[in-house]
Structure 1
Amino acid sequence: MNSPVVRLRGLTRSFEQGGVRIDVLRGVDLDINRGEIVALLGPSGSGKSTLLQAVGLLEGGFGGNIAISGTDAETLDASGRTELRRNHMGFVYQFHHLLPDFNAIENVVLPQLVAGRARATAEDRAAELLTALGLAQRLDHRPSQLSGGEQQRVAVARALANRPELVLADEPTGNLDEATSDRVFAEFLSLVRGEGSAALVATHNERLAARMDRVVRLHEGRLQHQGKADA
């Protein structure tokens, strides 16, 4: 049987603040299978972003075991973790973090060039993704010339450019108004499902969580598993 894309066992994370120990994650277990989109719910300060940082191998200091695409993160040095992120993961944040001096298609081409893809192939892939997100007429526009929703669509395309097995999204439409958020999030889900990627999406929005395959909640540093948000 294929191993899950994400496998967490006993994940912990603590901080010292003012001489006081704060346990943010207190033994998190989680599997995410290929093609599965999981909502990570919890109020602000519950540790959602910390958990995403752990899964994304973006910082150290975690206890327990993290395995991504069958690879145990503990066996990797810094360059190995970077390679794993580049080859297997895509990231979408609340703020798009696009490069302001590059247009939409260039922002989606760049991560592919870093991964070693030929420019012509990268441009075709970028145009395909941006067109699927309704931006066929905006390929040569810079971020400052795009609306907030359009900028976030470019960020989604960039995250999927290298066909990642796993997409990590932290409040991916949290900076948009409700109507735009609904449209962009629907497009995000459709594209991720069409690509066959797994995804872990941190949100505080129960309505958006209900549109995903499964919901997990962070509560007092532990993960509570459930089905759909309205189950």
Structure 2
Amino acid sequence: MNDAAVSTLEGTAAAGVTPVVRLRKLARSFTQGGVTIDVLRGIDLDVMPGQIVALLGPSGSGKSTMLQAIGLLEGGFEGSIEIAGAHATALGANARTILRRDHLGFVYQFHHLLPDFDAQENVILPQLVAGRSRADALSRAAELLQALGLGERLGHRPSQLSGGEQQRVAVARALANRPDLVLADEPTGNLDEATADRVLDEFLRLVRGQGSAAIVATHNQRLARRMDRVVRLQDGLLKQG
């Protein structure tokens, strides 16, 4: 991130704007064969509204584990997680589900689209779950898919789409409810370099356009440099740059 961007973020934080994500002493250990493995060893991180952060690290470094913690997808973590000002670690299961639904969007390395639904239907579903009318959901899905270059593919099922097209649908699905934070776990890891660049371009453009923040896990330093800020996960600890 350049000096001006850092200065802006520091000024925003000083002005009392609540981080979209605040992690304090986040830790996670696993026991395998009687051996304890410390995957996360006390992570502190603030992500401000609208900031796009690259989470850089090799495979097996704990990036997915960290995103699962922030996404409230599993338990077993120590430390505190705040999402949009809410202390997520103090909430019950139903409240965490609502927090995840209303504030978070997810993009995975594998698109995880529902195979029996077409592109537009895959983007409609999370909106219906959030209580949006079907007419509004249809309009929002069409708007996003057209912005991603899929205007002529709305009625195509995943099996009729290329890998890059499927991942664009996954991006549209993640952004459909205008989340405060998008969590992307190696979102272009399954794509060739040219397609990966196009998908990331579109992802960053749409995320910035709607003012969402994002954490993008990747092992690709070239892609990481295109984001606002880079943090590195190494030996269970988070390092800047």
Residues paired across the two proteins, number: 226
The one-letter amino acid of 2:220's match is N
* Whole-angstrom CA distance in 2 between matches of 1:147 and 1:104: 12
Counterpart of 1:219 in structure 2 is 234
List aligned pairs for 1:67-216, cutoff 5 A: 67-216=82-231
2:48 counterpart (33, 42, 57)? 33
SS in 1 for 2:59: coil
CA RMSD in angstroms, aligned pairs only: 0.5
Counterpart of 1:5 in structure 2 is 20
Residue by residue, what CA displacement relative to the aligned partner does 1:66-107 show, whole Å, maximum 9, x if unpaired? 000000012210011110000000000000000011100000
* Whole-angstrom CA distance in 2 between matches of 1:70 and 1:188: 25
1:17 counterpart (15, 29, 32)? 32
* Whole-angstrom CA distance in 2 between matches of 1:99 and 1:10: 36
Counterpart of 1:229 in structure 2 is none
Residue by residue, what CA displacement relative to the aligned partner does 1:160-209 show, whole Å, maximum 9, x if unpaired? 00000000000001001111011111101101100100000000000000
Counterpart of 2:8 in structure 1 is none
Residue by residue, what CA displacement relative to the aligned partner does 1:3-38 show, whole Å, maximum 9, x if unpaired? 100000000000101101110000100000000000
Which runs of no fewer than 5 residues in structure 2 stay unpaired?
A: 1-15
Q: Give the CA deviation at 1:2.
A: 1.7
The one-letter amino acid of 1:113's match is L
Residue by residue, what CA displacement relative to the aligned partner does 1:120-150 show, whole Å, maximum 9, x if unpaired? 0000000000000000010011111101000
The one-letter amino acid of 1:196's match is G
Which runs of no fewer than 5 residues in structure 1 stay unpaired?
A: 227-231
Q: Give the CA deviation at 1:39.
A: 0.2
SS in 2 for 1:162: coil
* Whole-angstrom CA distance in 2 between matches of 1:110 and 1:176: 25
* Whole-angstrom CA distance in 2 between matches of 1:105 and 1:223: 38
SS in 2 for 1:14: strand
Runs of 4+ in 1 over 6 A off after TM superposition: none
* Whole-angstrom CA distance in 2 between matches of 1:4 and 1:84: 15
Q: Give the CA deviation at 1:225.
A: 1.1
Identity of aligned residues (%): 76
* Whole-angstrom CA distance in 1 between matches of 2:153 and 2:88: 39
